[in-house]
Amino acid sequence: MLKAAQDMSSTAGAQLVTELQQIVGHHHVLTEDGATLPYRRGFRFGEGRALAVVMPGSLVEQWRVLQACVKAGVIVIMQAANTGLTGGSTPDGNTYDRDVVIVHSMRMRTIHLIGEGRQVVCLPGATLDQLENMLRPIGREPHSVIGSSCIGASVFGGVSNNSGGALVRRGPAYTDMALFAQVSDKGELQLVNHLGIELGSDPEEILKRAEEGNFPEASINWNAGRGHDDDYARHVRDVNADTPARYNADLRRLHEGAGCAGKLGLFAVRLDTFEAEKDPVVFYIGTNQTDVLEDVRRHILSSFAELPIAGEYLHRDAFNIAEKYGKDTFVIIRMIGTKRLPAMFAMKNAFDRLADRIGFLPKHFSDRFMQFMSHFFPQHLPARMRDYRDRFEHHLMLKVSASGAQEARDFLKSHFATHEGEFFECTPDEGAKAFLHRFAAAGAAVRYRNVHTDTTENIVALDVALRRNDQDWFEVLPKDIDDEIIVKLYYGHFLCHVMHQDYVVRKGYDCMALEHRMLPLLDRRGARYPAEHNFGHLYAAPDDVLAHYRQLDPCNCFNPGIGQATKRRNWVAESVG
C-alpha cells in the first residue's frame, strides 16, 4: 500500500512539474537537488526538500502556477530574495505531508510610481535597493534605507515579515493595500484586490493591468487605507508604556499581506514613500553608564519637538568585531555604493556552493579569502570614533534633521555637562562612516564564525523588543550561559528599544539548547521576540498570531509550519511519538 501511494504521488508530482513547465517554460522550473539548493536553503538558517522551484515571469504566470499547485494539493512556499534569518521562506526539513513547490518571484521586479511618487505599487521581485534608487531622483525614500537593501532584500519580504528598520518615525513595514491570492476553507483559490485601485473583475485582466501599471487617476482610491504605520511616531514616544514599541506579534500591524509570513500569495503591495532628509546632522555619543544613554533616550522621545531620523546603538565589543570582520563590507560599500552589492552577495554565494561541490577548498573559503585581503586595506574608521571606542563601552549614533539639529545640540551639551560621557558632532563624512560601521556589525558575527570554525560552534542570533519603559535595558547573562559564549555582539535601534543580540558559541556546545535557556530570561524581562523578523521555523508564534495565520490560510497550504505550527493539511495536529 505504501509503495502504491508513493508511486501515485511520484506520478502526480511529475504531472505537476510538466504543467508548471508549460506555464513558465522549462528553463524556469528547477527539479535537480543541486539546482534547487540555493532556494531550499535559508540565508542563515533552514533547509528542506522541494518537488520543484518555479520562477514565473509575470503575474499571470504566477496566478496560473498557484492554480496548478492548489489543484494538485501541494504545499506552496512563496519566496522572494531569500535573505531572511529565520528560515521563513524555505522548506523546513523533510517532514511535510505533501510535496513542496517553491514559487520564486524575483523575475518580476516592476515598480510603479503613483501620485507623483508619493506612493508606489511594487510587484513580487522588487527590491529595496531598486526602490531606493528609483525614488532618489525625485527626492523621496522608501520605508527602509541601507541595511537589508544591501543584500538584495525584497519589498515583499519587509511587508510580509513586519521588518522594522532603523528609521525612528516610520515604524515597521506596513500597508493596508495589497493584491493577493488566498485559498478558501473549501480549497478554492481566490484573487483578492485590496490595492485600492480599480482593475476590473477577471483575475487575469486584474493581474495584467497591475503589471502594466494601467492606473488611470480615476481608478485610484486615495482613501483606500494606510501605506505605512502612520501612528508609530506617536506610539514610540510613550516611554512609560509597559510594552515594546514594535514586535512581530503585534496584532495591530497584522493585516492581510502585512505580516502574512507567506500565508498568502502576494502579487502587489501599495506603499507610502517619504520625503528625503536634506543635510542631516549626526551626533556621536559615548558613555560607560547604561543609565546615561537611557536618560538620553527618554528625554529625546518625550521632549523633543521633532523626532530624530535614527538612533543606533553599538557596544564596544560589537565595534571591535565589526572593525576587524566587517572591514571589507565597509570598504566595498564606500568604494562602489550599495547598488552592486546584491549582485556581489549572489556571486559570493554561488562561489561558495561551487567550492562545496569541489571539495578540496576549505569551508567558507570566500569569507576566509576576503578576511585575509582586508588586512591590506587602510584604516577605515575616523580617529574620533576609535578614540571613543578606547574610552567608552556604549556608543550611540543620533541622526537628526537639519531643522532639529539645534535642539539636539543644546540638549546634549546640557546633559553631558552633568553626566558621565561625551559627544561630538560628526562631519558629513564621519556621520556616514559611523552608520556604515553600525551596518557592518550586522554581518560581523557571521564572518567571525566562518573564519574561526575550529573554535566556534555557531551563532545564536536574537532579535529582541524591549519594553518602552525598561530602564535596565542592557543584558547581563548568568555565568553558566556566559561561559559557553566566545563573544557577544549587542547593537540595535535604540530609540525603539529593539536590540540585535548575536552570540558566537564555543565549539562543542548545543546552540539550540543554549537559546532555549536564554529565552526565559527575556520572558521575565517582558521582552518580545522576534522584534522585526519572521517567526520562521526558529520561534514559536503565540496563539493569537497562529489564529491570524489560520484565518489567512484555512487549508494550511501556504508555508505550513511557520511559527512552529503544524505542517499538516487543514491544521491537523502533529502526531506524537
The SS3 of residue 274 is strand
241 among annotated binding-site residues: no
Q: Within the chain, what is the greatest distance between any pair of CA atoms?
A: 81
144 known ligand binder: no
What single letter denotes the amino acid at residue 66?
Answer: L
154 annotated as ligand-binding: yes
261 is in an annotated binding site: yes
164 annotated as ligand-binding: yes
Residues 6+ apart with CB under 8 A from 148: 83, 128, 157, 158, 163, 165
State yes or no: 11 annotated in a binding site.
no
Per-residue burial over 509-524, b = 16 or more CB atoms within 10 Å of its CB, e = otherwise: eebeebbeebeeebee
From CA 462, how far away is CA 443, in angstroms rounded?
A: 14
Q: Are strands 52-54 and 100-104 parallel, antiparallel or unpaired?
A: parallel
CA distance 191 to 60: 11
> Does 84 count as an annotated binding residue?
yes
CA distances from 425 to 292, 385, 418, 533 (A): 18, 11, 18, 32
**Measured between alpha carbons, how far is 574 from 576 in angstroms, rounded to an integer?**
6
CA dist 571 and 568 (Å) reads 6
Work out the burial of residue 69: count CB atoms within 10 Å of its CB; fewer than 13 is exposed, 13-18 middle, 19 or more buried.
buried
For residues 49 and 91, the answer to whether their CB atoms sit within 8 Å is yes
Cα–Cα distance between 318 and 494 in angstroms, integer?
Answer: 15
* Residue 551 CA: distances (Å) to CA of 26, 173, 247, 254, 258: 35, 21, 20, 12, 14
For 123-229, list the strands marked E by DSSP: 140-141, 178-183, 189-194
35 is known to lie in a ligand binding site: no
Asked if residue 266 belongs to a known ligand binding site, the reply is: yes
Grid cell digits, residue 319: 565595534
User: What is the helix, strand, coil percentage profile of the chain, to 5?
Assistant: 40, 20, 40
Residues 6+ apart with CB under 8 A from 11: none
Q: Which residues, other chains included, contact 374 with Cβ-Cβ below 8 Å and sequence gap of 6+?
A: 324, 327, 328, 331
Of 13, 89, 106, 17, residue with least CA distance to 55: 106
Angle, alpha carbons 437-442-444 (nearest 5°): 85
Q: What is the CA radius of gyration of the chain?
A: 24
Residue 89 in marked binding region: yes
What DSSP state is assigned to residue 304? Answer: -
Cell of 89: 521562506
- C-alpha distance from residue 422 to each of 281, 398, 415, 443, 552 (Å): 17, 13, 9, 28, 50
3-class secondary structure per residue, 222-268: CCCCCCCCCCHHHHCCCCCCCCECCCCCCHHHCECCECCCCCCEEEE
Annotated binding site for FAD: 80-84, 88-89, 147, 154, 164, 261, 266
Annotated binding site: 80-84, 88-89, 147, 154, 164, 261, 266
